[in-house]
Amino acid sequence: MKILVTGAAGFIGSFTAKKLLDLGNTVVGVDNLNDYYDVSLKQARLANLKPYSNFTFLKLDLSDRSATESLFRKEAFDKIIHLAAQAGVRYSIDHPHAYVESNLVGFINVLEGARYQWCNKDNSKNVAGHFIYASSSSVYGLNKHMPFNTKQAVDHPISLYAATKKSNELMAHAYSYLYNIPTTGLRFFTVYGPWGRPDMAYFKFVRSIINNEPIDIYNEGKMKRDFTYIDDVVDSLIKISEVSPSKITDWNRINPDSSNSSAPYRVYNIGGSNPVGLMEFVNAIEMALDKKAKINFLPMQSGDVEETWADNNDLANVIGDIKTTALKNGIAKFVEWYRGYKI
């Protein structure tokens, strides 16, 4: 297949592109290579993909409507895996417009590209395509019922980042309903591993501990996260991308299930389904480094939630067994990579 992977220089995007290439697909990767974090890391990820003859990279800002339209006029895709986004919860507090441009404008431009390629002029579905996109566990916001289930309403985000991801799900549903385009949203839970994002806590912790600097622990350490290793994320993503959602003809409009629809639309959690306390997480890093951390306890940050925990039952019902990597093993692999590639 010929597959578009947006955000191909990103953490999840680069791993996804590599897996698709290894499976024999033709991949067109796009990324704007913005400087939210060190561009050299993004370029190094791309360097891992460039040896593949079935890979093409285009530097492109998807919020540029004209450039995005040109891409879809020149290329024909069997699937779109849309992972490009402005990431980060706390960054959205001070830089809201970056999230609107990337996560909303960019998203609608890619959706329009899918409609252009896969629908007739009367907007009826013509070509079999599948639009898979990144949502986030942050959409659960103020929800307290654990584990987080995709059937729950997610109407109370506590960051603009989360609000844009919830908006993506709504936009995707509208296009699924109006144009019969199969869309699948994936709510990722705290993805970590080698080649990860330097703004993530585990990356900062490892760097600080190695440099004998204190690490900041928020909410006095009374937090839990459903950490999910990158290989496990990509394994689930590839498998679910091969299952194009169909309409549910008897979908209950009186008591609607928010994870599916009478349109060809689905939303799934992708998480480890094993929440770990923040201090336990720090301990795993200390063990991998064989070095104790200096800790600076701080109050809760705006936009953060105390706990995340993925209910993966819907996903398992579709793809079968879900690959899971033990935290200590995943952290050890990250530390090994970090020692050989320091930012």
Show which residues are catalytic. Answer: 161
Q: Are 131 and 114 in contact (CB under 8 A)?
A: yes
Rg (Cα) of the chain, in Å, rounded? 20
Q: Are 336 and 246 in contact (CB under 8 A)?
A: no
Q: Provide the sign of the torsion angle of the four alpha carbons 281, 36, 337, 237, taken in this order.
A: positive
Q: Of 152, 180, 155, 158, nearest to 170 (Cα)?
A: 155
Q: Torsions phi, psi of 100, nearest 5?
A: -65, -45
- Taking the C-alpha atoms of residue 40 and residue 59, their distance in angstroms, rounded to an integer, is 14
Helix 278-289 crosses helix 327-340 at what angle (to 10 degrees)? 50
Q: Provide the sign of the torsion angle of the four alpha carbons 297, 299, 301, 305, taken in this order.
A: positive
Residue for token pair 């060809």: 264
Q: Cis ω on the peptide bond leading into residue 147 (within 30° of 0)?
A: yes
DSSP string for residues in 133-180: EEEEGGGGTT--SSSB-TTS-----SSHHHHHHHHHHHHHHHHHHHH-
- Taking the C-alpha atoms of residue 9 and residue 195, their distance in angstroms, rounded to an integer, is 10
- Taking the C-alpha atoms of residue 212 and residue 308, their distance in angstroms, rounded to an integer, is 29
Angle at alpha carbon of residue 76, lines to 74 and 78, rounded to 5°: 160
- Taking the C-alpha atoms of residue 89 and residue 73, their distance in angstroms, rounded to an integer, is 34
Q: Are 274 and 226 in contact (CB under 8 A)?
A: yes
